[in-house]
Structure 1
């Protein structure tokens, strides 16, 4: 996949041919690498880029990296850390200015002691047919849709256009247990209610939360379970794809709920380079929203190659270095929003196109 912006082409012009020339050895490295300079305060702070420490001096750290997206973290004792993503382009070096904010004294030194009165009151869920609404706190609830157990063919089935090798081979999967999956992607409002802060780039209570790592999601789920008394988790990759395809009600669409992507998804062709309120496009056959587009969604599984053999309740590879995410997002073209498309990233990565959806075992 080629991102034209990385090569200094901000807008494609009609009736014009673009030629990408692949070269080798030192010339390739020179064309595809760029310098990142981070100026930071206080000057004693530590700088990590792609989870590797960058040695700095007098508040300036500099490194050379391949063009494309990279994560950074700047932290120092007594200060609020700052983290995010930076995109390096081949056309020019990139510079960041990071000024850390001091932590509040009360926050740093005081540990709240829970009392009986502070313990959460677990409220009963509200059921409506195949839908269930689970109260969390402050009037915020999680709406979930029941997915009936069944068997399906997972991977690059014939309706999936231009599939990649990592979507193959197709294989039969049987899910033996019903489960509930989030009707919507986790919103910033819900994340703030549980975690007390909002890490997202695009701010809005009803927008999907993003810039949350897989590890962040596990912390969020642990706190959510303590509040609700439930056992929420991330979906397995198989559970995610089965629900995206519409489960037993599937009509064989390429995207989740339609063969016309604009009907069901916010993607690069209509998103205006930002996320949108959850549930503002059409739902799929099960009444689930945004399983194509808006933000990509973490799954529970370690990434591993598919095999052609049949599987029952698969949970992905036994181990690995990357976790799977699914669904496409506001930042990407239609090809990556298909229900079979899968990709992967390290579990501590934070991206402004990556969020989550919850599952609850029945």
Structure 2
């Protein structure tokens, strides 16, 4: 933050009789605490500073004045492996995981907030003085050391601070030896980018006025981490940058430093956030699904937008890119949808938003934040209703930007999605195979099956996570096994194709269809006869799909399997429409159409004889598909050309489908009704989506 900004707000501060910005006295010189076994600390005297950055990310705002009233000693650098392993000798087994932090004097990583707190309590007992984690305000006050610039070094960081900085999928081998970069004016080192450092606070919004000795909110989902780390964009190394994750999470980016001081006695804040639109005014009554039931009249509703975010939004919701939806029916009959919202798919700002379509209404509620580990890429999501009272939310939890380094979390709701349980890590190790793709199934034997991408690219397959105890524990049967060869008749350890849809067949086998990994030029089909332990691959007879497209597969209440997919891969810019699919009209004539289609199988996925375009038909209408789809024309022979799909069927028989932005509703009678051939078969080019770069 510029000093000019500080001068502008100083008169307001003076008006409420709080002194101007102050710095510690000369007593703050670095000193080794007796008996601290090489944990060197510096004394920090009381003072004031401007916390946050009005030019930074939304959660760094508003910049506000903070007064620290009591002195404290803070470690001059992060706790090292050697120091931490005095408390936990078993941690030596984690040295070098993810190629970092092998040496005694390197910053310890793979330590959770809970473990860092336990170390502080142990050290307090050992030394007879109180050690704890710093509050977020204490951390930023000491890191700034009287500066108001982005870094204590000024507007930029020189190369001595750089350790593989950038938006990387995974860390690389970097030296995390503490104390190698220049100290700030108060003697602290490594506050910009060695490792993130745990703070004591729950993460929450900043107050709008001056505060004294703040300790964060009374509760929350995430504990704050500060300072940024190796393998992170430089902007996240600024003094004001905030991050956070679940307190039980640990990975190669997070360590901690200690404070020696008495506990802060300030009461936690009780900031009451506005109730999001998706959680307000929700009818708690279970829906009586026995009446009215959908009859055999074909029904198709005009598509509406399920993503309602004002133009120009730049945090916590983003109008730039909204994608990767999941949808569920709620016990009260409402529909609940989530998706990720971001500037860029690899960005650390990527969060999950939500919207609700109340039973009997036609317009989705305005979008509002749903899930966001601050400063993390929360890629991939899934929703599922168990048919009774409980909704399940599955999500990836990033360690860095991009979608390659995710842990897997689960939450539940028993009040139609109004409130959610604390997140539970169901796969704690960050890496591949943990990105949910909106497909959850409960088998007849009671197993819960969750599909997650096994890779980060367009080929490589889909993993399954399986729970036999109602979601308490999970197993990935393909983890650690050799990558399969996806070819006709081959057998492997996971599903062919990414973004797979899965159903259980009537004989107990599992069937999956996926994107990429084409077999004989067709969408790959995978069948497991041993509940996901092994899969046999074959060509499906269905068109392969590609970037910007995701299929959805489910069993309808009436028995048939429903697939919604696309007639051909989305065309590249400046390429004419190719492929398409033949459909049979009500008059028996065959014609070619393009875009999103629905198909029914009455023989457990062997054939898909009933097919129709998911379109209103009639004259061309221009719609906005959002994300990678962009604007397109829908008519009798053209439907949405791309999008990520998810569909659920409510007990009344209606099928609810979402693409990246649009919401569709239809029933089995409409799916089974043949359509008339379009008048004057159109062969014009498909609409071209915008060129936006790499995608998942």
- The TM-score range, normalised by the shorter chain, is 0.5 to 0.7
Q: Does 1:319 align with 2:216?
A: no
Q: CA deviation at 1:133?
A: 1.2
Q: Which runs of 5+ in 1 are unaligned?
A: 1-127
Could you tell me which residue of structure 2 aligns to residue 226 of structure 1? 125
Residues 275/213 of structure 1: CA separation in 2 closer, same or farther (3 Å cut): farther
Residues 330/189 of structure 1: CA separation in 2 closer, same or farther (3 Å cut): same
- Structure 1 counterpart of 2:77, from 166, 175, 184: 184
Q: CA deviation at 1:272?
A: 5.8
Q: What is the CA–CA distance in structure 2 between the aligned matches of 1:233 and 1:326, rounded to whole Å?
A: 15
Residues 222/188 of structure 1: CA separation in 2 closer, same or farther (3 Å cut): same
- Structure 2 counterpart of 1:302, from 176, 197, 202: 202
Kindly provide the CA deviation profile for residues 85-129 of structure 1, in whole angstroms up to 9, marking residues without a partner as x.
xxxxxxxxxxxxxxxxxxxxxxxxxxxxxxxxxxxxxxxxxxx86
| Secondary structure, aligned partner of 1:324 | strand
Instruction: Determine if contact 1:266/1:275 at 8 Å carries over to the other structure.
Output: no
Could you tell me which residue of structure 2 aligns to residue 147 of structure 1? 44
Q: What is the CA–CA distance in structure 2 between the aligned matches of 1:217 and 1:329, rounded to whole Å?
A: 17
* TM-score, structure 2 normalization: 0.31
Q: Number of aligned pairs?
A: 226
Q: CA deviation at 1:278?
A: 0.5
Q: What is the CA–CA distance in structure 2 between the aligned matches of 1:150 and 1:144, rounded to whole Å?
A: 18
Kindly provide the CA deviation profile for residues 282-329 of structure 1, in whole angstroms up to 9, marking residues without a partner as x.
111111100010100000000110121110000001111210000010
Q: What is the CA–CA distance in structure 1 between the aligned matches of 2:243 and 2:175, rounded to whole Å?
A: 20
Q: CA deviation at 1:135?
A: 4.3
| Secondary structure, aligned partner of 1:252 | coil
- Structure 1 counterpart of 2:245, from 341, 345, 351: 345
Q: What is the CA–CA distance in structure 2 between the aligned matches of 1:272 and 1:262, rounded to whole Å?
A: 20
- Structure 2 counterpart of 1:331, from 220, 225, 231: 231
Q: CA deviation at 1:245?
A: 0.5
Could you tell me which residue of structure 2 aligns to residue 173 of structure 1? 66
The residue correspondences of 1:285-296 to structure 2 (distance < 5 A) are 285-296=185-196
| Secondary structure, aligned partner of 2:198 | strand
Could you tell me which residue of structure 2 aligns to residue 253 of structure 1? 149
| Secondary structure, aligned partner of 1:151 | strand
| Secondary structure, aligned partner of 1:226 | helix
Q: What is the CA–CA distance in structure 1 between the aligned matches of 2:34 and 2:85, rounded to whole Å?
A: 15
- Computed over aligned residues only, the root mean square deviation of the Cα atoms, in angstroms, reads 2.1
Instruction: Determine if contact 2:172/2:231 at 8 Å carries over to the other structure.
Output: no
Could you tell me which residue of structure 2 aligns to residue 69 of structure 1? none
Q: CA deviation at 1:131?
A: 2.6
Q: CA deviation at 1:351?
A: 0.9
Q: CA deviation at 1:226?
A: 1.2
Could you tell me which residue of structure 2 aligns to residue 37 of structure 1? none
Instruction: Determine if contact 2:73/2:260 at 8 Å carries over to the other structure.
Output: yes
Q: What is the CA–CA distance in structure 2 between the aligned matches of 1:176 and 1:170, rounded to whole Å?
A: 19
Q: CA deviation at 1:264?
A: 5.8
Q: Which has the larger radius of gyration?
A: 2
| Secondary structure, aligned partner of 2:123 | helix
Instruction: Determine if contact 1:323/1:347 at 8 Å carries over to the other structure.
Output: yes
Residues 323/136 of structure 1: CA separation in 2 closer, same or farther (3 Å cut): same
Q: What is the CA–CA distance in structure 1 between the aligned matches of 2:215 and 2:35, rounded to whole Å?
A: 28
Instruction: Determine if contact 2:50/2:148 at 8 Å carries over to the other structure.
Output: no
Q: What is the CA–CA distance in structure 2 between the aligned matches of 1:349 and 1:256, rounded to whole Å?
A: 29
Instruction: Determine if contact 1:263/1:282 at 8 Å carries over to the other structure.
Output: no
Could you tell me which residue of structure 1 aligns to residue 259 of structure 2? 359
Kindly provide the CA deviation profile for residues 160-190 of structure 1, in whole angstroms up to 9, marking residues without a partner as x.
xx51000001111100011111111101110
Instruction: Determine if contact 1:258/1:264 at 8 Å carries over to the other structure.
Output: no
Q: What is the CA–CA distance in structure 1 between the aligned matches of 2:165 and 2:120, rounded to whole Å?
A: 32
Kindly provide the CA deviation profile for residues 339-359 of structure 1, in whole angstroms up to 9, marking residues without a partner as x.
000011000001111000111
The residue correspondences of 1:118-129 to structure 2 (distance < 5 A) are none
Q: What is the CA–CA distance in structure 1 between the aligned matches of 2:104 and 2:34, rounded to whole Å?
A: 17
Structure (1/2) with the larger helix percentage: 1
The residue correspondences of 1:35-46 to structure 2 (distance < 5 A) are none
Structure 1 ranges of 4+ moved more than 6 A:
none
Q: Does 1:281 align with 2:181?
A: yes
Q: Higher relative contact order at CA 8 Å, sep ≥6: structure 1 or structure 2?
A: 1
Q: What is the CA–CA distance in structure 1 between the aligned matches of 2:252 and 2:153, rounded to whole Å?
A: 24
Residues 279/316 of structure 1: CA separation in 2 closer, same or farther (3 Å cut): same
Kindly provide the CA deviation profile for residues 52-98 of structure 1, in whole angstroms up to 9, marking residues without a partner as x.
xxxxxxxxxxxxxxxxxxxxxxxxxxxxxxxxxxxxxxxxxxxxxxx
Q: Does 1:194 align with 2:90?
A: no
Q: CA deviation at 1:220?
A: 1.0
Residues 197/134 of structure 1: CA separation in 2 closer, same or farther (3 Å cut): farther
Q: Which runs of 5+ in 2 are unaligned?
A: 1-26, 263-696
Q: What is the CA–CA distance in structure 2 between the aligned matches of 1:297 and 1:351, rounded to whole Å?
A: 12
Instruction: Determine if contact 2:30/2:187 at 8 Å carries over to the other structure.
Output: no
Kindly provide the CA deviation profile for residues 238-292 of structure 1, in whole angstroms up to 9, marking residues without a partner as x.
000000100xxx2433113343313562443399642421011111111110001
